[in-house]
């Protein structure tokens, strides 16, 4: 007998939209008015006055550091930038056309295999893991980017902060102060964003008491998708497809008529302009004014103008992905490295949520609504 059964003990909420999955004190969003805070501090204030290293401390330890605490933390990060040669050898052996996000996931797991086991229930062990993973992430990404091009790995410079050192390791050139500052702000803006897909993934894996390398590797897998971290790559591809500022109106008309996506606009949470986009937009303008504009930037400005004119009253505004890819390209960063840069920032948030999960851990085990068959009779293969 074939019986189709639908068990609906609860109402299904696709994507768990609006369903609380955990209590957290790390970041706060009010999407109706465009508010994002880390530990109670507005993102606008942090973007203007703070640094990425200071924000990492804030997320991890719940407060702004003293100068002594920050100096000690920064020195710890410098010391933890060292990556074993075996990990570099593994990255060098990967297919050159493979995506850097896959390489980062492999790099995290390899780093875990070459590191001492981490007791995830021990606070001191978790703190050491914070420093190692935050410090090694830009090293892994920059090293892979160069190795796949047949270039030598550029050694880290202990005198540079994380943003400037990443650009140095990636391009082999010391970045201009404004360029390094723009990347530092971009890292601040991407460091945490409540229970997003990759953070939720990380917390689910953390709830099994897996080590932090597995937690971050799993989160990277979630971040790699085009509906999450991969969106900034698709924004740039979209702008390249449009071709020029003059072509924007006709392209937008067709996109709206076909009900197609306009990458870089709108957000699952924000019903007004993404506050992170507002923060970075001014610095982007300053950087292009100082270092020269590009056709793709002009196309982006025209697209923003046209979209706001057509859809602004419907709550469709630029999000942070719209501007980040444009500025990364200006920095000489390959398009497929945009999402890994997201990971350089978000690893701080993942680790803060990992630590929070370990405070009062409970294994994630959600239920489901069954809609399949039951009581099916087995048919021998000769009779099928």
Rounded to whole angstroms, the Cα distance separating 51 from 186 reads 10
Q: Which token pair is 11? A: 């109402």
Rounded to whole angstroms, the Cα distance separating 96 from 94 reads 6
Rounded to whole angstroms, the Cα distance separating 166 from 55 reads 17
Instruction: Tell me the β-bridge partners of 27.
Output: 38
| Beta carbons of 310 and 255 less than 8 angstroms apart | no
Find the angle CA(36)-CA(40)-CA(44) to the nearest 5 degrees. Answer: 45
Chain mean position to CA 327? 16
By CB atoms closer than 10 A (0-12, 13-18, 19+), residue 375 is: exposed
Tell me the angle at which helices 85-92 and 123-147 cross, rounded to the nearest 10 degrees: 40
Which of 184, 192, 274, 321 does the annotation list as catalytic?
321
Rounded to whole angstroms, the Cα distance separating 376 from 217 reads 39
As a dihedral over the C-alpha atoms of residue 139, residue 107, residue 83, residue 354, rounded to 10 degrees, the angle is 90
Give the helix, strand, coil percentages of the chain, each rounded to 5. Answer: 60, 5, 35
* 190: annotated active-site residue: no
| Beta carbons of 62 and 25 less than 8 angstroms apart | yes
Q: Which token pair is 275? A: 């506050």
- Residue 29, classed as helix, strand or coil, is strand
Instruction: Tell me the β-bridge partners of 318.
Output: 265
| Beta carbons of 188 and 46 less than 8 angstroms apart | yes
* 353: annotated active-site residue: no
Which of 267, 274, 353, 355 does the annotation list as catalytic?
267
Q: Which token pair is 297? A: 């930037």
- Which residues are known to be catalytic? 267, 321
């Amino acid at each position: 007998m074939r019986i189709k059964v639908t068990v609906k003990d609860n109402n299904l909420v696709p994507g768990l939209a609006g369903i609380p999955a955990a209590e957290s004190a790390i970041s706060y969003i009010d999407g109706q008015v465009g508010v994002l805070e880390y530990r109670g501090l507005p993102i606008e204030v942090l973007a203007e006055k703070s640094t990425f290293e200071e924000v990492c401390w804030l997320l991890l330890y719940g407060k702004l550091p003293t100068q002594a605490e920050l100096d000690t933390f920064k020195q710890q990060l410098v010391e933890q930038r060292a990556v074993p040669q075996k990990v570099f050898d593994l990255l060098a052996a990967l297919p050159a056309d493979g995506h850097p996000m896959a390489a980062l996931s492999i790099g995290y797991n390899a780093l875990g295999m070459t590191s001492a086991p981490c007791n995830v229930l021990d606070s001191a062990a978790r703190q050491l893991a914070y420093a190692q993973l935050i410090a090694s992430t830009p090293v892994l990404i920059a090293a892979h980017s160069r190795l796949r091009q047949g270039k030598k790995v550029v050694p880290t410079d202990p005198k540079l902060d994380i943003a400037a050192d990443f650009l140095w390791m990636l391009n082999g050139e010391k970045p201009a102060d404004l360029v390094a500052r723009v990347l530092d702000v971009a890292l601040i803006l991407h460091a945490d964003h409540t229970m997003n897909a990759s953070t939720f993934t990380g917390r689910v894996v953390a709830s099994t008491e897996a080590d932090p390398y597995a937690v971050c590797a799993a989160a990277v897998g979630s971040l790699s998708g085009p509906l999450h971290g991969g969106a900034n790559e698709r924004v740039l591809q979209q702008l390249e497809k449009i071709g020029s500022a003059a072509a924007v109106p006709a392209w937008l008309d067709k996109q709206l008529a076909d009900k197609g996506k306009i990458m870089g606009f709108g957000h699952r949470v924000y019903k007004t302009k993404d506050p992170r986009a507002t923060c970075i937009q001014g610095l982007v303008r300053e950087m292009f004014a100082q270092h020269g504009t590009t056709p793709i930037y002009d196309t982006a400005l025209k697209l923003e103008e046209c979209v706001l004119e057509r859809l602004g009253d419907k709550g469709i505004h630029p999000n942070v992905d719209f501007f980040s890819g444009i500025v990364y390209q200006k920095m000489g960063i390959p398009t497929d490295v945009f999402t890994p840069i997201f990971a350089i920032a978000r690893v701080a948030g993942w680790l803060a949520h990992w630590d929070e999960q370990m405070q009062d851990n409970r294994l994630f085990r959600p239920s489901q609504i069954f809609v399949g068959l039951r009581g099916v009779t087995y048919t021998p293969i000769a009779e099928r």
